[in-house]
Amino acid sequence: MVDRGADRKGATQAAASRLRRSRWLLAAAVVAVLAVYAFGGLSIYVPLLALALLVAAAMLPADVERQSADEAAAIEAGGLQLLSGEYLAAAVADPLIIFDRTATLVHANAAAFAAFGGLAPGMSLSLKFRAPEMQALLDGIVSGTVASDVVDYKEKLPVERTYRVSASSVGHATDLYVLVFKDQSETRRIERMRADFIANASHELRTPLASIAGFIETLRGPARKDPAARDQFLQIMQNQTGRMARLIDDLLSLSRLEMKPYLKPGTEVDLRQTIDSVIDSLAPLAGENGLVIERDFIDGPHSVPGDRDELFQVFENLLENACKYGQSGGRVTVSIVRDEAGPEPGIDVTVRDYGPGIPEEHIPRITERFYRVDVENSRTQKGTGLGLSIVKHILTRHNARLSIKSEIGKGAAFTVHLPAH
């Protein structure tokens, strides 16, 4: 916190010092002039007059400095008297609660009302915050056992939030204390996501490694002279190494995307040409799964700002998922339409399958890393659980978004909303 009183005092002292130096210089100049005239034959009173000026210059700045310091102190005292605890609490962005020696609420700022609600002067904080760590914090502060303390507190309702709560006394002999709640929810969420990501990545790599190690041991032992078993195990090992390679490639793609800034404007991508290339590249996969890919494109050019390779990866992931998981529907539809409804014109690209669909409770989490609706089916289809996370990151860089609609038994539709300019 900036000490404004110290700043004002320092400024006043500096001004007084400058004034003192200027007066000394002026006095010295006058003395020099008088000395010249004295040596030129003037009266003896001239040097005496010069001496008097020097004495006055030496005494005057001290008076000015004292007067300026007194004025600064008066201004500071007057300014602080205009402030109150209520004004200071309102200036704090974090939830802040002032309470007395009986742990009774005296005042709460607007942020505290927004975070906890139901606060009123005279309320017992021991009844409001019943968590053991909060009870221990309040008891330690009001009893004088500690002058200040910090604990972590988790609020369950209406949504779960985590706070770092600091408590301390206010002033001297005021019998007032303050609680400040620093919201740590976003930091804890990121830490939890990072830990989950490392655990999931380790698990995804450990499983094929354990499988390969087991088959190597079998090939060196019982299956050493069994050609049929050797060929089968080698094929499985090849599949597992391919799975690890895909997982590492996807992890590297995510890492590169997170390090890149938002896409700079200026580069145009022909959306129709890009999607045609994606459909042509996945035609063999669609044929293997007995699917027909249908096009439903509007006429005219469809240029959008973006990176062609990254947008190709987006539509390749979406169309590949539709071919793998919607094969029971017999067809996949890719459509391009213009969106004129919003404040800015855009282009929507929808990849729709007619397979089993996605249960509604999975849709909000389907773009999370390693999140799978059906784990076994995903691994059978050689999925890494990172495809839609990559899609989400690329679209974020392009100032675009992804929406998902699905109904059980009627398939799923993934729509990419791209800005036209």
% residues pLDDT > 70 (the chain): 74
Q: How high is the pLDDT of residue 4?
A: 46
pLDDT over 60 (residue 291) = yes
The token duo for 35 is 């000395």
Rounded CA-CA distance 226/219 in Å is: 9
Q: What is the pLDDT of residues 364-389, one digit of tens each?
A: 888 887 777 766 666 666 666 788 88
Alpha-carbon gap, residue 15 to 23, rounded angstroms: 12
Q: Under a CB-based contact definition with an 8 Å cutoff, are residues 328 and 356 in contact?
A: yes
107 and 97 in contact (C-beta within 8 Å)?
Answer: yes
Q: How many angstroms separate the CA atoms of 399 and 265, rounded?
A: 11
Distance CA(254)–CA(391), nearest Å, equals 10
Q: What's the pLDDT at 83?
A: 58
**Residues whose CB is less than 8 angstroms from the CB of residue 297 and which lie 6 or more positions away in sequence, other chains included:** 272, 275, 335, 336
pLDDT score for 94: 92
pLDDT at 66 over 50: yes
pLDDT tens by residue, 71-107: 555 555 555 455 566 778 888 889 999 999 999 999 9
pLDDT at residue 383 in the model: 65
For residues 165 and 153, give the distance between their C-alpha atoms in angstroms, rounded to a whole number: 7
Give the pLDDT band of residue 167 (cuts 50, 70, 90). Answer: very high
Give the position of tokens 């996501």.
193
**Bigger pLDDT: 349 vs 187:** 349
For tokens 């007995």, the residue is 290
β-pairing, 96-100 with 346-353?
unpaired
Q: Is the pLDDT of residue 323 over 70?
A: yes
**Contact present, 374 and 359 (Cβ < 8 Å):** no
Instruction: Give the Cα separation of 141 and 85 in Å (integer).
Output: 19
Q: What are phi and psi of 342, to 5 degrees?
A: -80, 180
Residue 195 vs residues 98, 136, 203, 343, 369: alpha-carbon distances, Å: 37, 30, 12, 39, 12
CA 337 – CA 413 distance, rounded (Å): 14
Number of Cβ atoms within 10 Å of the Cβ of 192: 10
Strands 292-297 and 331-339: parallel
Q: What is the pLDDT of residues 256-286, one digit of tens each?
A: 777 666 656 567 888 889 999 999 988 888 8
190 phi and psi angles, rounded to 5 deg: -65, -40
